Structure 1
Amino acid sequence: MKVLLLLLLAGAPPEAYLYWIQPCAKETAEQSGCEAADRELAQWALEAWQEAGEGRFTMAKAAAENKARIRIYWAAGPAGMYGETRPILVEGKPGAEVYVLPNLSQLGPEIEAAGREDRLFRHAVVYLTSLHETGHALGLNHTAAFDDIMYFFGFGGDVLEYFSRYRRKLALRADIRNHPGLSPADQARLIGKYMR
C-alpha cells in the first residue's frame, strides 16, 4: 500500500499556488507607506520560494484576488511588527493572507534611520519581510537559527545586522533577484514539506 501511494504521488502534478499582490494605490500608500515597486519585491519573494522548491510547486498570478491562495497586502500595524500571515481556505485548499508592513518608521529608530539613509536597505527589509511571510503561507514555521529567513526575532539577536548582512550583497535593487535570501536549511525544510 505504501509503495502504491509513493508511486501515485511521484506522478502527481506539482502543487499550484495562484497569488495576488495588492497594488500600492494612493490611499494604500498613505496608510501603509508602500511604494508602487514593492509589488515587484513581493513577486520576487514568491519566485525565490518557487525556485527553492525545485519544481514541487508552481506560482502564477491569479486573475482575481478571490481566486488567489496567497494574497499579499500592504498594511500598517503596531510598532515593531514587520508582517503577519493568516490562514485562509480557497476553494477547499489552504492559502494565506499575507500582510507586509513597508513603513520602516514603525520598526524602531535604527531600522528607520538605515532605511532613510539607504534606499537599498529599505528594499531589503520589504523583500525579506515578504519572503518570511510568504514562507509562512507555504506552511513553514519560525526557527531559532539567525541565518534562516524563517528566523523569529523574538529569539533575540541583532535585527539591524539581520537586514544589513543581506543589504551588503546588493549593489542595485535588481540584485535582489540574484540573492534569494534563503538559507540551505530554509530550502531543506521547504523541500521536506513538499516531498513528492
Structure 2
Amino acid sequence: MELSGVEAIQARISEIQRRFGIEGSVPGMASNFQRTLTAELKKKEEAVPAQKTAAGTAAKTEAGAAQATSHVGASAELSGASNETAHFIREAAAKYGLDSRLVAAVAEAESNGNQNEVSDAGAVGVMQLMPDTAAALGVNPYDEKQNIEGGAHYLKQMLDAFGGDMKKAIAAYNAGPQAVKDYDGVPPYAETQNYVNKVLDLYQ
C-alpha cells in the first residue's frame, strides 16, 4: 500500500531515529524533519478544505440539476391526479406537440385531474370531453388515456384554428370555437373568462 506524504515522512523519521539511536544525534536532523513534517501537514490540511469545497460545489450542482429536473417533471402534476394521469398528460402533450404544463393546466381547471368527474352537462373525465366531441376525435372518453389524448388533440385543433393564440384557444376549449369567432376573442361570458384566467394562472 502506498504511504501518504505525512506517513512517509513519519516513517523516514523513525528510520533515522533507529539508525542514529536517539533523536538529535545528527545536529539539525530532527528540526529539519520537523519543519518538513509541519509543512506537509499544513499542505494536507489546506488540501482537505479545498477537496471539501469542490465536493460541496459538485453536490450543489447535482442538487440544482435534480431540483430543475424535478420541477420539469412536476409540470404535469395535478392536485387530484395520480402519477399515471400525469404520465398520460406528458405522453399526450408530446404526441400533439404541446407544452405538458398547458395540458395539465386545462386538466386541472376542468376536473382537478379526476377521470371520474362527470359534469351536469355530461362532460366526461380528466379533460371533460362531451361524448359528441370525443366521438369526433375518435376516442372513448371513459378511458383515461384516450380521454387525455382526446383533450390534448382538441386543444391542439383550437390552437391551430386561432393561429396559436393561447387565450382564444383556451376560450374555445370552454365555450366552443364559434363563440370565439363571433366575438373575435374571449366571449363575454363570466364562466369562460374565469376559465381562461384560471388556466393561464395555472400554466404560469
TM-score normalised according to structure 2 size: 0.27
Ranked by relative contact order (alpha carbons within 8 Å, sequence separation 6 or more), the top structure is 1
Larger Rg: 2
TM-score normalised according to structure 1 size: 0.28
Q: Which has the higher strand share?
A: 1
